[in-house]
Structure formats: structure tokens, C-alpha cells
Structure 1
Amino acid sequence: MKIGCLSLALCLPLFLHATVLAQDFYQGKTIRIIVGGTAGGGFDVYSRAMARHMGRHIPGNPTLIVENMTGAATRIAAKYLYSAAKPDGLTFGIFNGYLILGRVLGMKGLDFDVRKFEYIGVPVRDNVVCALTKASGVTSLGQWLAAKPPVKIGALGPGNSTSDVPRVLKAALDLPVSLVEGYKGTADIRLAADGGEVGGGCWAWESVKVTWSKGLESGDVGVVIQAAPKAAPDLPKVPVALDVAKSEEARQLIRAGAIGPSSITRVYVTTPGTPRERVQMLRKAFADTLRDPEFAAEAKKSRLQIDPLTGEEVEKTVAELFNLSPSTVSKLAAVLAVK
């Protein structure tokens, strides 16, 4: 008992000192959230909701603002967060976690070690679906499998779930897909699909059902397949890719190339070299925000799902991706056309 009290007596002043220092640092400051996607897209919607509440959970109550930094399938935002942002705890942001898989596969253009990021957390683990417009002429998986010519799918580019998941499904299920890449965000893909440029796109159901709700409710848009571990509770009749796959090799490809990386698609990070105490402060504030009753009420009203990972859990997932077997890495690199 005396040892416990002595330990507390020693540790409590250190904790209070760190809190005071953080409060002194953050008071009156502005924290930028860099979003590697367009305004109105899923990354943006979650980030703006968090920005309205997270400041209350950081000592000194700083202001948080969102800055959209689009391009190169979120690589521009990732590279900025890695090397251009100051490692001072005043900048963190989100890029597509499929870039981490891209780095594992040796994708060119990712000339930085993603393992050195300071991982803050993930607000929701994604379950990717492919949603197509009624105007595309495809409203079921059977129609898609029989489609001639291939269905045009809008996407950002390699190293992004909007591109990688369709590629994996094409290889694993022999799904007729024609990728149209180069969009800056899922909001742009939705607009292109609504305008008839493409048939639809593949990204998180957690985002699709919020940002494309009008199309879903009117019946102009429908979900055709799920690239998720199991069917979403609100999509019980939509086929799951794992169940449709005809071989264990195909299922392994879906797990490694679509389902695994999806858990960290919405990954928030800060710059390598950020002081440890500020990283811990941001991690705690991030987690506390997701439990905040006011944030929860806004999330519910906006239909934003919360299924988080801590920064430590993200680090573990990243390590697992880097430990994929050489044969799996080779297969994925071929399927995802890594160059």
C-alpha cells in the first residue's frame, strides 16, 4: 500500500505538470485538420463534425479548422502530413488508409515510410460497398456479372479504396469493371454517376448511406455488392463478396486487398517527430470526442456511424499489413497494377 501511495505521489505531479504544459501550449491556438478529400465527401463530413467538438477535450480548448487538400488519391495530403507539416501538434489529418497497403506493395510515388506516422485513431471501420445508379442498367449482382460492356466505376486512383476494391473484385469474381480514375473525392464520383459519366463507385457504406441518401431513398441508386466481412445490418439481402467467391484463393484476395485495409481507411495521423506528450493528448482527445454525448447526438442526427480504433490499435493493424506473406503481396501487387 505504501508503495502504491508513493507511486501515486510521484506520478500525479508529473501528470498535472504535463497537463498544465499542454494547456499553456494549446490555449489560443488553432489546430488544422488536413482532409485528403473534397468538401462534402465522407472524410470531410466526419472531420468537420469532429472539429466542432474535439477542442473541448484538449487542454487549453484550441480552435479546430478543416483544410481540404485534394489530389493524387489522397497522396498529396499524406505527403504533406508526413514531411511538410510542422511536428508541433497543431496539424493532423486524414488520408485513405489504402495508401498503407500501397506502401506494403511497393507502389511508386509513396517514397516515405508510413510506419513513422503518429497514428491518432480511426472514427469508424469501413465496410466497402459498390453502389450503382439505376440509369447504369445494373441493379443486381447477376446483371453486373453479365454486363457487356463492363460497368464504368468512378475512382480516385491506385492506393485508394475507390480504385483498389473494384480491382480486387474484378480479379476475384471476374466482375466486368472499367475504372475511370482521376476524381478528387467521393463527392465528385457521386456527381459523375448522377450525371451519367460513370455507373457508380465503391467506397464505405458508412459514407454512401449518408452522402448519397437522396439517391438511395428515391431508388435511383442501389447497393449491388458488399466487400465486407459480413452483410451490414441494413443491407441483409445484398450479396457479400466473400460468399460469392468460388475459391479460397479468391477469398484470400478479398480479405487482404479489400476487407483488411478497410478497417483503417479513415486513418487520422499527425507528423512524425511530434512530441510524445502532444501525440498522447491528441489521441485521448480523439477518443474522448467519439464518446462525447454532444458529438454522439450530432453523429446520430447526421447518420454518421461510430466504430473506432485507437491510435495503438491502428499501429497494430499497420504492422499486420507489413507482415503479409510474400506470395500474398505478389498477388495483390499484380491485381492492383502497382507501378
Structure 2
Amino acid sequence: MKTRLHCWSLAVLLIVTSVGWADDFYRGKTVRIIVGGSAGGGFDTYSRVMARHMGRHIPGNPALLVENMTGAGTLIAAKYLHGSAKPDGLTFGIFNGGLILGRVLGMKGIDFDVRELQFIGVPVQDSTVCSLRKESGVGSVEQWYAAKSPIKLGGLGPGNSVSDVPRVVRAALDLPLQMVDGYKGTAEVRMAADAGELHGACWAWESMRVNWSNALKSGDTKVVLQVAMKKIPDLPNVPAAMDLAKSDEARQLLKAGAIDPAAIVRVYVTSPRTPKERVQILRNAFAATLTDPDFLAETKKINLDVNPLSGEEVKKIVDDLFKLPAPMVTKLGGILSGK
């Protein structure tokens, strides 16, 4: 009995000491959130809301500062977090998790091992939709199939879900579309579509319904296709890509290349070699923030969904992607190469 009590007391002492140490480390400091997308986009919106609440869940209550680092379909931010950010627990960030699949497929430019990153978590698992401006003359999948010329969709670049999902859809469903890559983020894609440079785009409904809400409500933009395993409750009459697929191979392409990776599109990570105790502090604070009543009240007010994954759950999905069969890897590699 005395031995058990002694062990319990020692465990409590270690926990208190650890919390005190963390409190001393983070107090008075600023934690940076590196955002691979542009200001006003979905990644930026989630990060700024989180930044207003997460500090009180980190011992020492540090300030949090959002820093946008755009370019190369969020690859610049991902490389920075992997190789340049100091591994001290004072920097974490978000890049498009489509890059993880890109690494699996051996895409050019993704020249670092994404598995070395420390995964913090995902605030919401994406359900991708494709929306088109009314100027495109296409208001349904049937009209899209009948289009006399390819529908121009905006993207950021290969390895980014805003570009990858349409390419998978084109290959699996044989829809006439043309990708126009090179935009910094979904905010720029949206503005280009509103200006008539593009016909539309495909990205997460969880962000699109917030950031493109005015055009969706007015009917200037319409969702014509959803790329998700389950139909989105908000869009009961919009056809699902999986239901339109005419072969097992097409359904496998959609699942492996678009639907499964969508769960980790909004992946938050910190740098390799960050001390384990600080990684755990960030993971715990991230999870606590996503259940914080004030945070949830703010997300509800601006119509942001919360459907999180823990860092451990993200790691399992990443490990599974690296176990894709070789024939599927080869097929997807050709589709997503951007050529």
C-alpha cells in the first residue's frame, strides 16, 4: 500500500513539475501559426479563429500569431515547417495535406519525408464539392457532360487538393475540364472566378459555404458535384461522384486520390525533432481548443464546421497512404502529375 501511494505521489510530482516547466517556457512568448494559404482563405480562417482561443490552453498562456506563407500550392510552408522552422515548440502550421499523397506518388518538388513531421491534428475533415459560376452555362452534371468546351477550374498546383481532386474527377468520370493552376489560395481562385477568369473550382464545402457564401446564396455560383464518401446533408440533391462512377477502378481512384486524402487536407504540424513534451503540449492545446465553448460559439457564428482528428489519428492515415498498392500509386501518379 505504501509503495503504491509513493508511486502515485511521484507521478503527481512529475506532472506538476512538467506543467510548471512548460508554464515557464511558454510564458511571455509568442507561438507562430504558419498558414500555407492566403489571407481570407479556408486555412487562414480556421487558423485565425483558433489563434484567438488556443493560447489559454497552453501552459503560460503565450500569444499566438498567424503568419501567411503562400506559394507552390502550400509547398513553401510545408518545406519551411519541415526544414527551416526552429524545432522548439514555438512554431506550428498548416499546409494542404494533399502534399502527403503527392509524396507517396513521388511528385516532383516534394523532396522531404512528410512522415518526419510531428502531426498536431486536423480541425475538420473535408468534404470536397465542385461549384461553377452561372456564366459557365453549366448548372448540373448533365450540362457539364454536354459542355462544348472544357470547364476551366482554378487550382494552386499539383500536390494540392484544390488541383488534385478535379484531376481525379476528370480521370474517373471523364468530365470535360481544364485546370488553371498557379493561384496562391482559394481566396484568389474565388476572386478569379467572380471576375470571369475561371468557370469555378473544387474545394472543401466546409470552407466554401463560408468564403463563397454570397455568390452561393444569390445563385451566381452553384454546387454541381460533391466528392465525398457520404452525401453532405446541406446538399441532398447534388450528385455524388461515387454514384456517377461506372467502374470499380473509377471508384477506387476517387477513394484513394480524392476522398481519403480529404480527411487530412487541413493538417497542422510542427517541426521534426521538436521535444516530445512540447509536441504533446501543442496536441493537448489543439484538442482542448476544438472543444472550448467560446471557440465553438465563434465557429458556429461564422458557420465553420468542427470535425477533428487527433495527431495520432492523422499519423495513422498518413501511414496507410504510404501502404497504397503499387498499381494504384502508378495510376494516380500519372493522373496528378499536372502534365
Which bin holds the TM-score, normalised by the shorter protein?
over 0.9
Residue pair 1:108, 1:338 contacting (<8 A) in 2 also: no
Number of residue equivalences: 339
Which residue of structure 1 lines up, in the alignment, with residue 137 of structure 2? 137
1:46 aligns with 2:25: no
RMSD between aligned residues: 1.0
Which residue of structure 1 lines up, in the alignment, with residue 333 of structure 2? 333
Whole-Å separation in 1 of the counterparts to 2:82 and 2:290: 25
Letter in structure 2 aligned against 1:216? L
**CA offset digits 1:249-276 (Å, max 9, x no partner):** 0000000000010000000000000010
Alignment of 1:123-134 (within 5 A): 123-134=123-134
Which residue of structure 1 lines up, in the alignment, with residue 88 of structure 2? 88
Structure 1 position 335, deviation (Å): 1.1
Which residue of structure 1 lines up, in the alignment, with residue 298 of structure 2? 298
1:155 aligns with 2:155: yes
Whole-Å separation in 1 of the counterparts to 2:138 and 2:267: 32
Structure 1 position 4, deviation (Å): 4.9
Structure 1 position 292, deviation (Å): 0.2
Which residue of structure 2 lines up, in the alignment, with residue 217 of structure 1? 217
Alignment of 1:145-294 (within 5 A): 145-294=145-294
Structure 1 position 2, deviation (Å): 5.9
Letter in structure 2 aligned against 1:12? V
Letter in structure 1 aligned against 2:266? R
Structure 1 position 12, deviation (Å): 1.2
Which residue of structure 2 lines up, in the alignment, with residue 15 of structure 1? 15
Structure 1 position 10, deviation (Å): 2.1
**CA offset digits 1:65-91 (Å, max 9, x no partner):** 100000000000000000110000000
Letter in structure 1 aligned against 2:157? G
Structure 1 position 130, deviation (Å): 0.4
Letter in structure 2 aligned against 1:302? I
Whole-Å separation in 2 of the counterparts to 1:338 and 1:209: 27
**CA offset digits 1:14-61 (Å, max 9, x no partner):** 111111111000000000000001100000000000000000000000
Paired-residue identity, %: 65
Say if 1:246 and 1:11 are closer, same or farther in 2 by CA, change over 3 A: same
Whole-Å separation in 1 of the counterparts to 2:326 and 2:3: 49
Letter in structure 1 aligned against 2:265? T
Residue pair 1:155, 1:182 contacting (<8 A) in 2 also: yes
Structure 1 position 338, deviation (Å): 6.2
Whole-Å separation in 2 of the counterparts to 1:80 and 1:45: 21
Which residue of structure 2 lines up, in the alignment, with residue 115 of structure 1? 115
Note the residue ranges of structure 2 that are not aligned, 5 or more in a row: none
Residue pair 1:156, 1:181 contacting (<8 A) in 2 also: yes
Structure 1 position 223, deviation (Å): 0.5
Say if 1:3 and 1:242 are closer, same or farther in 2 by CA, change over 3 A: farther
Report SS of the residue matched to 2:290.
helix
Report SS of the residue matched to 1:22.
helix
Say if 1:9 and 1:172 are closer, same or farther in 2 by CA, change over 3 A: same
Residue pair 1:77, 1:95 contacting (<8 A) in 2 also: yes
Letter in structure 1 aligned against 2:314? V
Structure 1 position 141, deviation (Å): 0.5
Whole-Å separation in 1 of the counterparts to 2:172 and 2:159: 18
Whole-Å separation in 1 of the counterparts to 2:80 and 2:55: 23
Structure 1 position 136, deviation (Å): 1.1
Report SS of the residue matched to 2:226.
strand
Whole-Å separation in 2 of the counterparts to 1:4 and 1:227: 54
Whole-Å separation in 2 of the counterparts to 1:241 and 1:161: 16
Taking structure 1 as the reference length, the TM-score comes to: 0.98
Residue pair 1:257, 1:332 contacting (<8 A) in 2 also: yes
Note the residue ranges of structure 1 that are not aligned, 5 or more in a row: none
Which residue of structure 2 lines up, in the alignment, with residue 312 of structure 1? 312
